[in-house]
């Protein structure tokens, strides 16, 4: 797969530790929501490091994509991308990569998205792609996050939840909840699956993304609630938003 030159055209902080990086990519072939790219950084001494990040943006025709990276204190790549990278800098990337954990515009069935932490990134691409395609497929998002300040894409998700009733957003705060939260802090459980996801008889396709333990637990809960394993697609994420 070809390495391409990508120029940073915008930087946007999502949380205190996470940043969205908008890139103009030379000869970008286009992508499908859920795909990812490999990013390569090369030091002056020739040492290089490669990390994989999901594409956060929906498809477009201008060769621009976005990735969102969460900083890991002892990380090798994420501190540079979230603190030192500047508009006008160049990166190398290759992609798009992946063809299974994707949402395609011709899907009309209900879609259930389940995100843990930075696992929201490829699922946000699916939400944005739905809007771009003018799809009427009903979407629900169940988003597990530590506390309100850790929510990625907060304003955009709030606007979707308020204005577009076919995208229903439910939060599970694991450590600190907002004052108006109807639930105490806690992880996703059977009760939340029952109230915050599509009923199993609707034949929804579910996309589950987050750390390995989160993905396994959420998948088990969906199956216990009657969802067919064949209708559940999963993707594991590392601590910085890197795909595993």
Tell me the average pLDDT across 136-149. 96
12-62 per-position pLDDT tens digit? 999 999 999 999 999 999 999 999 999 999 888 889 999 999 999 998 768
Cα–Cα distance between 215 and 211 in angstroms, integer? 6
Domains 4-97 and 111-236 share a fold: no
Average pLDDT (218-234) is: 97
pLDDT of residue 123: 98
Closest CA to 39 of 1, 91, 99, 98: 91
Whether residue 58 contacts residue 129, with contact meaning beta carbons closer than 8 Å, is answered with yes
CB 11 within 8 A of CB 23: no
- Check residue 241 and give its pLDDT: 56
Q: Does residue 180 carry a pLDDT above 90? A: no
The model carries a pTM of 0.94
**Residue 30 confidence (pLDDT):** 94
Helices (H), ranges, 134-168: 154-163
DSSP 31-89: --BT-EEEEEEE-TTS-EEEEEEEB-SPP-SSSEEEEEEE--TT-SSHHIIIII--TT-
Quote the pLDDT of residue 219. Answer: 98
pLDDT at 85: 96
Q: How confident is the model at residue 242 (pLDDT cuts 50, 70, 90)?
A: low
CA separation for the pair 22, 71 (Å, rounded)? 17
Which pLDDT does position 181 carry in this prediction?
Answer: 85
Q: Mean pLDDT across the stretch 174-182?
A: 90
Pick the CATH number of 4-97 from 3.30.300.30, 2.40.30.10, 1.10.287.610, 3.40.50.300: 2.40.30.10
Whether the predicted pLDDT of 243 surpasses 70: no
pLDDT band at 164 (very low <50, low <70, confident <90, very high): low
Any idea what DSSP says for residue 237? B
Residue spans of the domains in the chain: they are 4-97, 111-236
How far, in Å, CA of 64 to CA of 7, rounded?
9
Topology, domain 111-236: Rossmann fold (3.40.50)
């Amino acid at each position: 797969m070809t390495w391409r030159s990508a120029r940073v055209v915008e930087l946007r902080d999502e949380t205190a530790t996470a940043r969205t990086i908008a890139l103009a990519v030379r000869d970008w072939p286009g992508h499908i929501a859920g795909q990812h790219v490999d990013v390569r950084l090369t030091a002056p001494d020739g040492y290089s490091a490669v990390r994989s990040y999901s594409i956060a943006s929906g498809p477009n025709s201008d060769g621009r994509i976005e990735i969102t990276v969460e900083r890991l204190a002892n990380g090798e790549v994420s501190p540079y991308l979230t603190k030192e990278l500047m508009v006008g800098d160049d990166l190398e990337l290759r992609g798009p990569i992946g063809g299974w954990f994707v949402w395609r515009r011709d899907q009309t069935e209900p879609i259930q998205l389940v995100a843990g932490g930075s696992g929201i990134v490829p699922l946000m691409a699916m939400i944005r792609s739905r809007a771009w395609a003018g799809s009427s497929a009903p979407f629900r998002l169940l988003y597990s996050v530590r506390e309100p300040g850790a929510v990625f894409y907060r304003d955009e998700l709030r606007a979707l939840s308020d204005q577009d009733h076919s995208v229903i957003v439910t939060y599970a705060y694991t450590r600190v909840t907002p004052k108006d939260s109807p639930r105490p802090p806690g992880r996703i459980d059977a009760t939340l699956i029952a109230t915050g996801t599509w009923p199993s008889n609707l034949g929804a396709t579910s996309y589950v993304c987050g750390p390995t333990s989160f993905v396994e637990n959420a998948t088990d809960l969906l199956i216990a609630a009657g969802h067919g394993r064949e209708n559940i697609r999963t993707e594991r994420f590392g601590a910085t938003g890197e795909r595993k």
